[in-house]
Amino acid sequence: MNASLPAREDPGSLPHPLPKLGVVLVAAGRGERLGAAEPKAFVRLHGRTLIEFGIGVATSLPHGGHLVVVVPDSHAVRALEIVEQVLPEGSEWLVSVVPGGRERHESVRFGLEALHDTVEVVLVHDAARPFATAALFERVIAEVRRTGDAVVPALPVADTLKRVDAEGVVHETVDRAPLVRVQTPQGFPRELLAAAHADAALLSGAEPGRSAPTDDAEVVQRAGGRVRTVPGEVRAHKLTTPADLALLEAIMEANVAGIAEGV
Ligand SMILES: Nc1ccn([C@@H]2O[C@H](COP(=O)(O)OP(=O)(O)OP(=O)(O)O)[C@@H](O)[C@H]2O)c(=O)n1
Ligand SMILES: C[C@](O)(CO)[C@H](O)COP(=O)(O)O
């Protein structure tokens, strides 16, 4: 394990074989929509912080890899303590903690920059989705390796969709058949994602009618890359507002992965 800040390798502690899989766990958001006293990734569900769940699932993946946990500067020491607690003795995972940026895409870039040189496939995962399963991680990794494309977990849209104006007046019903809701972990060939994130123009919402990308798949798509989907999971729900807390606690209490897994 490497639990330094910023990530620095102690060659004596590098796992063997050297990591080919990288996971960037983005946990540096403030959680303004949740309105908690702590940054969102440090909020607890039944006594465990969100970040603990994310570190736990990533480092449960077989064959090891390099996990980079991106946190607010103010919580770096706390994050290192959590890594020490969660990582089993003898784990094949190299784990680093690095400080995040003001925007999500900046945090992702800092995480990518900290990845070990040998990483070939990278997953970017929101700490705010604590119950994504190892099976979902594996599904995404397998599809990236099979296709060489970017891969995102997706769920169908269950509700009727309407386009409304600023006053909330409905103008039309939108065909939902070609629409999906996407989640994390999102997977990429490392070079594809790193090159896209290095191009500042792709990250800007400055052009008229173009907002800043809200996920990494869109950054890659703007760079001309192909993005595929695999089935997502209902239980990989994101903690965004206080209402999501109740939903996630219910998922945790039910502990019925078989039922809660999506399509
Ligand atoms: N500057 C940021 C912003 C977001 N994130 C991470 O990106 C994930 C998804 O972001 P979101 O749910 O929007 O989190 P927040 O930015 O914390 O939420 P809010 O917009 O309500 O403040 C979260 O795990 C969050 O910690 C991050 O690492 N760095
Ligand atoms: C990355 C993401 O979780 C994929 O669904 C989502 O785009 C984050 O969006 P947010 O508006 O920053 O919460």
Please provide the CATH number assigned to the domain covering 11-165+180-260: 3.90.550.10
pLDDT of residue 2: 43
pLDDT tens readout for residues 82-96? 999 999 888 999 999
Distance 1 CA to ligand 2 centre (A): 29
Please tell me the number of the ligand nearest to residue 127's CA.
Answer: 1
DSSP state of 83: H
Distance 29 CA to ligand 1 centre (A): 4
Asked whether 26 and 100 are in contact (CB, 8 A), the reply is yes
State the Cα–Cα distance between residues 194 and 196, nearest whole angstrom: 5
Asked whether 144 and 153 are in contact (CB, 8 A), the reply is no
pTM equals: 0.92
Bond into 185 cis (ω within 30): yes
**Quick one: how many helices (H) and strands (E) in the chain?**
9, 12
Domain ranges in the chain are: 11-165+180-260
CA atoms within 13 A on the CB side of 177: 1
| Residue 10 reports pLDDT greater than 70 | no
Distance 172 CA to ligand 1 centre (A): 32
| All residues at 6 or more sequence positions from 101 whose CB lies less than 8 Å from its CB, including other chains | 28, 107, 109, 110
Q: What is the mean pLDDT of the chain?
A: 90
Mutation to probe ligand 2, out of 24, 215, 219, 240 (largest number of atoms < 8 A from CB): 215
